[in-house]
Amino acid sequence: MTFGARLHAAIAERGSFCVGIDPHAALLQDWGLADDVAGLERFALTTVEAVAPHVSVVKPQSAFYERFGSRGIAVLERVIADSRAAGALVLLDVKRGDIGSTSQAYADAYLDPASPLASDAITVSPFLGFGSLDPIVDTARRHDAGVFVLALTSNKEGPEVQHARVEDGGTVAGRMLDHLRHLNADAEPLGSFGAVVGATIGATTEDLAFNGPVLAPGFGAQGGTVADLRRIFGTNPAVLASSSREVLRLGPDPAAMRDFVRRTNDELRS
C-alpha cells in the first residue's frame, strides 16, 4: 500500500491526532530525568508505550535525539521500531533539504527499508527549489513512503520566503502546493505527498486542496484549536493535528497521556 492509502486507513481507525515525541531538556527535567541518554531513553520509550497503540501517527523530532550523538540515534531507532510495532505510522521530523547525491543520501537514510532509521514518511524543506526534492520523491515512490513539504509554516519568520511572489504573481507557498497537486494527481484514496501548514497561520487565500495529507503543527499548547482546523482546512479528513507538549507534560504517567490522546481524538472526530 502507498503511504497515502496507509494513512487514510490509519486515520479512519485511530483518528487524526499526531503526537510529537520531542525530548526537550526541560521536559526531561519535568519528568525528574537527567538530561542524558538514559533519561532520553526512559522518556521516549515511555511515551511510545503510552501513545503509539492509540494514534495514527507519531512524529519524533530527530534533532532532540541527534544532540546525544550515536547513542541518541540508537534511541531514535528504537522509537521508530517500537512505534511501528504498536501500529502507528512514523513521520520523522527531519526537515532535510539539499541537492543531488546528498538529497539521495537523506532519502536512503530515512525512507529505504534497509536503513535502521526507515520511517513511513519524513518532513522536508523545498526552499532550494522543489526539483531539489526529486531524489526524495522518487525514493518515496519506490518504497511506498510519504513526504511532507514545508509550505505555510506558523513561525513568524516564515512569510519572508513563503509569502514572496513568483513570476506568475502567486506565492512561493502556492507554488509548493501546486507541485504537490501535480504529484498527487489521480491518487486514490489519498496522495502520499503532503504539506506542512500551521494550525495557527490565520487566514489564507491559498488553495489547500491538493489530494494529499496535511501536517498541522501548532495545535494545542501553541494555540491552535479544532475551530482553527475547521476554518483553515474545512472538512478535509486528512489533516493531522500535531501536538507534543500538551501530551508530554502529562508524563511520566502513561495512563494520563493515553487518556488525553483518546479525548483529543474524540474531539477531532466530533
Q: How far apart are CA 46 and CA 182, in angstroms?
A: 40
**Cis peptide upstream of residue 252 (ω within 30 degrees of 0):** yes
Question: Which of 79, 120, 142 minimizes the C-alpha distance to 213?
Answer: 120
Q: 140-154: string of b/e by CB count within 10 Å (b at 16+)?
A: bbebbbbbbbbbbbb
Q: What is the dihedral of CA 195, 8, 188, 239, to 10 degrees?
A: -30
* Dist. CA 135–CA 112, nearest whole Å: 12
Pull the grid cell for residue 268.
Answer: 477531532
Specify the 3-state DSSP secondary structure of 43. helix
Q: Which of 24, 84, 95, 143 is catalytic?
A: 95
102: which residues sit within 8 A by CB, 6+ positions away? Answer: none
Here the cell at position 4 is 497515502
Determine how many CB atoms are found less than 10 A away from the CB of residue 77.
Answer: 15
215 CB-side CA count, 13 A: 31
Q: Is 59 a catalytic residue?
A: no
Q: How far apart are CA 5 and CA 90, in angstroms?
A: 14
Q: Would strands 214-217 and 239-243 be described as parallel, antiparallel, or unpaired?
A: parallel
Distance CA 214, CA 33 (A): 34
- The catalytic site residues sit at 95
